[in-house]
Amino acid sequence: MRKRYPIEIIHHSKQIVFIPDDLPNGKDISKIAFGNKVIDVTCAPHPKGRKVIVLSDDVQKELSMPNLSGSLHVFTDQQTLFIGPLIGILTSGFTPYPLRPIGERSMFFAKLLSVNKMVGAIPFVFGEEHIDWDTGLIRGYFFVDDGWNTMDVPFPNVVYDRLPNRRTERKSELLSLKSRMQTDYLIPWYNPGFFSKLDVFERLQQDERAAEYLPETHQFSSFSVIERMLSNYGNIYVKPANGSLGLGIHQILFDKHKGDYYCRYRDQDGINKLTKFDSLEKLMRKIFHKRNLAHMIVQQGISLLRSEKRLIDFRVHTNKDEYGQWQVAAIAAKIAGQGSVTTHVNNGGVVKSLDELFEDKQERDMYEKKLSDVSLLLSSILEKNMEGIIGEIGFDLGIDKTGRVWLFEANSKPGRSIFKHPKLKNFDLLTRKLSLSFGIFLAEKAITAPEDIFK
């Protein structure tokens, strides 16, 4: 059973730690650890029997432990008492401005760090440039009672990867930082990388349980594949392999009675267009002349559920929780703007909760269960078939007119902007809490059963 205690600091200069008498193996403790820093201490049960952990201020100083209120998790392994955990959230794009040290993402990180007291951990944000490998300290960014502050702390128990994009992630300094922390310091690293759209489908195809949720999806190879898919499905999607926010998504429709091709897309001015062509070649030449087709994905079109003639799709956000189990943290419906290819809000789409979308409770419960079950199944398959420790996934799912669930995309660093919707605010808090709670789980595993993590 995981334990949490309030931490108190007293003025004393004898490397003293008082521990509660109900702490397992408390009698054997002779060392205390914070992050990767370990020191020898004298340990005694709390003289008044209080259920708190008291550190003398010289211990706090030697551990480079910030002065923060709230209760923390405590793990023991042999003679060592681990308190924390210290969770390092890695990102890039720091600014010299103390009011907004991570630019426009500062508020996002402030909110993420602010769940610390609820989950019982010490999270901080850092970049590659804040690590001092010689002293073994990191200048971490903390969001505390008076706003953003920096403090020097030891290396963290776990690293939560929130690098903003693929470009930064591929930088050599970040690649070497990642391998050094994992192999030399044995620090678990969660949520690495960005899924590529095609990779997700290929990995999922390796598991037959996923097959029924996957629309036929290929990298663009030839017009004949498009022709075949159009004759099978009537319509297809063509989209950039590494796109986001619904940009560059085109729908091609084929009218087999008249032999006409239609392309529905959003032009440079943000206008939703539907254009007719008498051959596929003309369509491709006109619409895609500026795009490298080799970087496009071709996907089977699905006849989606509609609300008042407008397309509906769903965003499901899954997280691993404090026990390392997948949980559905959020479900939202997105309803497309009229005549739009996608349900993205910047295309005139609106966000709704399932309660708002389905007035009938039975219908709502049925779809909620379907979407949840599929998302949990796909999460566990992706976790098994992708490299690295995955802690959260955002799924874009559709439901067709027969009630069948389809996967369009899975994102390893899903955006959270839809959770700003008033009906989804509670999900926002839950996903933030879970993304740190999973860090606590990993920190404990790395201490008590490292073989489970470093396979």
Partner 1 sequence: MTPAKTQGHYINPVIALLTEIKEDNGPDFGKVHSFCEELHQGISELGGTFYVFSLKGFSDEGVEGFYYDDDEWKKGSLPFPNVIYNRVSSRRTEYSKGFKGFLNKLDSLGIKIFNHRFLSKWDIHEFLMKEEHLHPFIPETHLYTEQLLASMIAQHEELYIKPVHGSQGRNIIQLSRENSLFHASLSSLPAKDLPAFSSIAELTRAISPIVKKQLCIIQKGIQLSELNGRRMDFRVLCHKNAQHFWKVTSIVARVSAEQYFVSNIARGGEVMKPIQTLSLIFGKEQARQQLALMKELALETAEAIGQHAEGLTAELGIDIGIDIKGNLWLIEANSKPSKNFEERGTKIRPSTKAIIEHCYGLCQP
Shorter beta-carbon distance to partner 1: residue 36 or 346: 346
144 binds partner 1 (CB under 8 A): yes
For partner 1, give the closer residue by CB, 141 or 261.
141
The answer to whether residue 421 forms part of the interface with partner 1 (CB under 8 A) is yes
> Which residue's CB is nearer to partner 1, number 26 or number 66?
66
How far from 207 is each of 195, 291, 378, 394, CA to CA, in Å? 17, 33, 10, 19
Q: Does position 147 bind partner 1 by CB under 8 A?
A: yes
Q: Is 51 in the site for partner 1 (CB under 8 A)?
A: no
Part in contact with partner 1 (CB under 8 A); list of ranges 3-11, 19-27, 215-223, 420-428: 420-428
Residue 116 has which token pair? 């610390």
117 binds partner 1 (CB under 8 A): yes
Site for partner 1 in 350-379 (CB under 8 A): 350-351
**Taking the complex as a whole, how short is the minimal distance between the CB of residue 423 and partner 1, in angstroms?**
8
Per CB under 8 A, does 425 bind partner 1? yes
110 counts as binding partner 1 under rule CB under 8 A: yes
Instruction: Dig out the tokens for 368 from the structure.
Output: 């909620």
**Residue 24, interface with partner 1 (CB under 8 A)?**
no
Binding residue for partner 1, selected from 24, 27, 28, 107, defined by CB under 8 A: 107
Among 129, 308, 387, 451, binds partner 1 (CB under 8 A): 308
Q: Assign residue 120 a region: left if phi > 0, alpha if psi is -120 to 50, beta otherwise?
A: left
Residues in 66-105 that interact with partner 1 by CB under 8 A: 97, 99-100, 104
In the bound state with partner 1, the residue whose beta carbon lies nearer, of 272 and 380, is 272
The residues of the shown chain that bind partner 1, judged by CB under 8 A, are 97, 99-100, 104, 106-107, 110-111, 113-115, 117-118, 143-147, 307-308, 345, 349-351, 420-423, 425
